[in-house]
Amino acid sequence: MSEKEIKSLEEIFEAKIARDEKIEPKDWMPEKYRQTHIRQISQHAHSEIVGMLPEGNWITRAPSLKRKVALLAKIQDEAGHGLYLYSACETLGVSRDELYEQLHSGKAKYSSIFNYPTLTWADMGAIGWLVDGAAIINQVPLCATSYGPYARAMVRVCKEESFHQRQGFQIMMTLAEGTPEQKEMAQDALNRWWFPALMMLGPTDDASVHTEQSMKWKLKRKTNDELRQQFVDQTVPQAEMIGLTIPDPNLKWNPETKHYEFSELDWEEFWQVVKGHGPCNKMRLDARRNAWNNGEWVRNAAMAYAEKQENKEVKQAI
Amino acid sequence: MKNWPLWEVFIRSKNGLEHRHCGSLHASDATMALENARDVYTRRMEGVSIWVVPSSQITASNPELNGETFEPAMDKAYRHPTFYELPDELKHM
């Protein structure tokens, strides 16, 4: 294809997106659109899968059967969300194995929040309430993103995500209404998860290298700072409702802007965690690699069995 | 060793409705594809019937040929009932 032809295809493509038409897997797309989507969708998929690990830590120690089945269901949903997203990503011509390889080698990133440890049961509440809460804010606009398979996966994810946040908030609410020790445990979890949850929405707009292009492709519909503000505005009253304190001395309501003001975030910490120096980065990646490597013989056995069955059927047919 | 092939999943949400494509997954054989589809796509009573089809068995139209494939239908307005102008007094038609 000549440069001129590509240029005209690009114009048709941009016009399609401007009209809010969806792009489907077999449609022509600029190579950069494909690569950016592979990066973002796979990063999202990896986050779902690695996100199962901090919660998996508490399945055997859930305080009641009711809490245990809810936590199991939530973690199972996350496996499902990972699958929807990997599938969407594969429609862009990358294989599942390549995607895993990128995660396991450290080439691909996942959400920095999952590199923090889950120290008490209250962390299951804080994660559902804050981490899934921030994820919903990030994900709802993505239901309208331009790439069809990604948008459809997000619709499904968002439908399921709301249960996650509600079960988390209910854990926090119950602890906050409990004994002083239980309330203290809830407050401690909020103290530890609040700032990581705010940072989870991504670097500030002026430091975010991908925002501008992603907004143009409707891969992003709101900037990181807008999403963060929305999260703070909706979460502060929820904390007040259950008598917990947001751990930010600079938090205050601005009646003119009708938004909360809050402290500058510790971006140095954020970048350290992103670069692999968070409290649990190594543990998380080791868990993923071990699961993949130790499962190899199971995958091979299943394939060998399938081939054997197929040969049997062919023989019977003859 | 070969990787698990890709399967497309179709779900009938209730009797009376058609199966609709809802996603895909990897599985070593059809039985596993069905079991995984059940676990992934019908956890909240989304379906009463599942089809799984090897993705490699699907032949798709080429979007680059959408013009010649689909546009001829656009100048065949006479296939729609509104093409035929009839008196307003006419009832039940």
Q: Report the pLDDT averaged over residues A154-177.
A: 95
Dist CA B89 CA B92 (whole Å): 10
Q: Considering only alpha carbons, which residue of chain A is nearest residue B62?
A: A26
Which range has the top average pLDDT, A171-180, B57-66, B79-88? A171-180
User: What is the pLDDT at residue A4?
Assistant: 83
Q: Are A116 and A196 in contact (CB under 8 A)?
A: yes
Distance from CA of A171 to the nearest CA of B (A): 22
Give A28's contacts in chain B (Cβ within 8 Å).
63-64
- pLDDT of A214 over the 90 cut: no
Is pLDDT of B23 > 80?
yes
What is the reported pLDDT for B27? 97
**CA–CA distances in Å: residue A170 to residues A52, A66, A93, A173, B66:** 20, 12, 41, 5, 51
Tell me the residue ranges of DSSP E strands in A147-281.
252-254, 259-261
Q: How far apart are CA A281 and CA A266, in angstroms?
A: 18
Beta carbons of B23 and A90 less than 8 Å apart: no
The pLDDT value recorded for residue A68 is 98
* A101 contacts A43 by C-beta, under 8 angstroms: no
Q: Which residue has the higher pLDDT, B15 or A221?
A: B15
Distance from CA of A193 to the nearest CA of B (A): 29
Pick A219 or A234 by higher pLDDT.
A234
Q: Give the side-chain half-sphere CA count within 13 A for A278.
A: 23
Which CA distances in Å does A229 have to A14, A37, A72, A237, A251?
Answer: 30, 25, 31, 13, 12
* Digit-coded pLDDT (tens) for A224-233: 999 999 999 9
The whole-number average pLDDT for the span A29-49 is 96
Alpha carbon of B92: minimum distance to chain A alpha carbons (Å)? 38
User: What is the average per-residue pLDDT within A42-47?
Assistant: 97
All structural domains of chain B? 1-59 (3.10.20.520)
Contact A303 B28 (CB under 8 A): yes
Query: A113 CA to chain B: closest CA distance, Å?
Result: 25
Tokens of B29: 């054989």
Of chain A, the end-to-end C-alpha distance in Å amounts to: 49
What count of other Cβ atoms lies within 10 Å of the Cβ of residue A314? 9
Alpha-carbon distance of A223 to A212, in angstroms, equals 9
CA angle A197, A202, A204 (to 5 degrees): 115
Q: Please give the distance of CA B33 from its chain centroid, rounded to a whole number.
A: 18
Q: Is the dihedral of CA A10, A16, A20, A24 positive or negative?
A: negative
Mutate which of A69, A74, A297, A299 to disrupt the B interface (most B C-beta within 10 Å)?
Answer: A299
Q: Provide the H-helix boundaries in chain B.
A: 30-41, 66-70
Residue A112 neighbours by CB under 8 Å, 6+ apart: A196, A199, A200, A270, A273, A274, A278
Mean pLDDT of A244-250: 98
Are the beta carbons of B23 and A77 separated by less than 8 Å?
Answer: no
Report the alpha-carbon distance of residue A95 to residue B91 in Å, rounded.
Answer: 59
Going A67 to A73 to A75 to A78, the CA torsion angle's sign is negative
> Residue B1: its pLDDT value, please?
65
The percentage of residues in chain A with a pLDDT greater than 90, rounded to a whole number, is 87
Question: Could you say which of B2, B63, B64 has the minimum Cβ distance to residue A303?
Answer: B2
Tokens of B93: 């038609």
Is B1 exposed, middle or buried, given 0-12, 13-18 or 19+ CB atoms closer than 10 A?
exposed
Which residue is listed with tokens 């009573």? B45
**Are A278 and A112 spatial neighbours (Cβ–Cβ below 8 Å)?**
yes
ipTM greater than 0.95, yes or no? no
For the segment B47-59, the average pLDDT, to the nearest whole number, is: 97
Confidence of residue A87 (pLDDT cuts 50, 70, 90): very high
Give the integer Cα–Cα distance in Å for A253 and A246: 13
Report which residue type is found at A246: I
Strand B49-54 relative to strand B19-26: parallel, antiparallel, unpaired?
Answer: unpaired
* Amino acid, single-letter form, for residue A41: I
